[in-house]
Structure 1
């Protein structure tokens, strides 16, 4: 009986008092849970590496410009190289001399190239920097093929140009005709020159008149009138007649008119001119 009383008399903890007006809450939520999840999902190693690369890419140009600025100096000399005939090395160096004293690194080499290629004789100019303070220019001149209309030259590329000193080109064939037909004249001249060479004759010039008539000049001074039509056939006929009838008396011949269908008309030099040419 006593045991029972002792068990019953044990203090049973009462429920904690409830606050008036309070509502019972569930487990408290973590306010930063979403942020932590986002941060946990970010690959921080790759992100930091990417940021480092971006920073490095931004710093490289800046660093390079600082190094170049520290190394930069003025251009002190300009050297011109190349096989020159029409141009003067001194004149070229003087023309490029306005770049002396400018920044070695900041100077735009394309400006120098463009300026030099405006000169009549210059086909191309290659410009490069030579550390620490020089520029080197390699000039390639136009190769003249013939004189054109007595006051200009035509290059092997068919380009007409008018230097102040065309005579330095030396002994060249003389071609003439309308400027817009220059390539046609060159083509005809090359064909005729090859044929003449095969018959031991020299080519000196070819003239295309505005109305379309052709006149050939041989190296021995004989003029051959070929006209406008059937030019190739007339030229071949002249070659045949010359070899058979005129070769032995070529120093007496002044002009041959090949515009006839059955032969050629020969204009002979005067007796005085012929005797002078023989002596």
Structure 2
């Protein structure tokens, strides 16, 4: 006889009623909901376009380099332009000749410019490329104002330079003095020259000695000692005496000393020592 065994199982709660039209999501699917919403909000078309633009921008330098490399040639000629007095085109072209045969694009034009501006006469040099294989160099020379200390020139901008062919500057005044006081000498020389020119008297030079004394030289060769003090006043006193009494005998005058308080001392050419006579 079989024994009956009663097996009791735990009660399983009934499933909650589903809303009509609703879909149940299991535990696995619920964690991707926010991610899907985030991805859906991304403007993928704009992102793709931006990526393409960035890629193209990154390729531009590389592409440019490839194009220049394909187009590059050697420098075959150098042309020099500018109004030249102290320099010659042949000498400048020879100076720049080190760049012949070098890369048209890779050559640093600043190096060419710097090298040319080391030459004494060259104030500035402008260098540019001329396709396909030439360099054009435009030279601006220093404009000499006067000779300086018998071995240099001084430009209108106050630069001292010492070219080997300084005599090509032609007839210029002679200025002398310590190099560090060149600006002062130029300023004084311009002042004297302007006043003399207004009165029809030629200016030939000006000297500033180490101890500070000034000596003026006229175009007719007369030297005028002005000393260290009251230089402008002494210069005006000399002009008064010169125009009043000495101009008519200028070819007889060797030197005028204007360092006196009342008048000047004149040294005549027919007298060896200074006469000491005051005018």
What interval of TM-score do these two structures reach, taking the shorter chain for normalisation? 0.7 to 0.9
Mind listing any 5+ residue stretches in structure 1 that lack a counterpart?
Answer: 1-18, 273-279
In the superposition, the TM-score normalised over structure 2's length comes to 0.87
Deviation for aligned residue 1:76: 0.2
Deviation for aligned residue 1:36: 1.1
Q: Equivalent residue of 1:216, what SS?
A: strand
Q: Equivalent residue of 2:254, what SS?
A: strand
Distance 2:214 2:122 in 1: 32
In the superposition, the TM-score normalised over structure 1's length comes to 0.87
CA shift digits 1:18-66 (9 cap, x unpaired): x989898884142432321121121212211211110110111111111
Deviation for aligned residue 1:164: 1.0
1:88 corresponds in structure 2 to 88
Distance 1:25 1:84, change over 3 A: farther
The farther-off stretch of 29-38 and 259-268 is: 29-38
Distance 1:114 1:21, change over 3 A: farther
Runs of 4+ deviating beyond 3 Å: 19-27
1:130 corresponds in structure 2 to 130
Distance 2:230 2:75 in 1: 62
Mapped pair 1:143 → 2:135:
no
Distance 2:182 2:11 in 1: 111
1:10 corresponds in structure 2 to none
Mind listing any 5+ residue stretches in structure 2 that lack a counterpart?
Answer: 1-8, 17-23, 273-279
1:256 corresponds in structure 2 to 256
Q: Equivalent residue of 1:239, what SS?
A: helix
Mapped pair 1:60 → 2:60:
yes
Distance 2:167 2:12 in 1: 116
Distance 1:166 1:22 in 2: 118
Distance 2:267 2:148 in 1: 27
2:4 corresponds in structure 1 to none
1:242 corresponds in structure 2 to 242
CA shift digits 1:105-129 (9 cap, x unpaired): 1110000000000111100000000
Q: How does 1:6-21 map to 2 (within 5 A)?
A: none
Q: Equivalent residue of 2:220, what SS?
A: coil
1:121 corresponds in structure 2 to 121
Deviation for aligned residue 1:165: 1.1
1:190 corresponds in structure 2 to 190
The farther-off stretch of 39-48 and 20-29 is: 20-29
Distance 2:113 2:203 in 1: 37
CA shift digits 1:220-267 (9 cap, x unpaired): 000000000000000000001000100110000000000011100000
Distance 1:25 1:148 in 2: 114
The farther-off stretch of 167-176 and 32-41 is: 32-41
1:8 corresponds in structure 2 to none
Quote the RMSD (CA, aligned, Å).
1.9
Q: Equivalent residue of 2:237, what SS?
A: helix
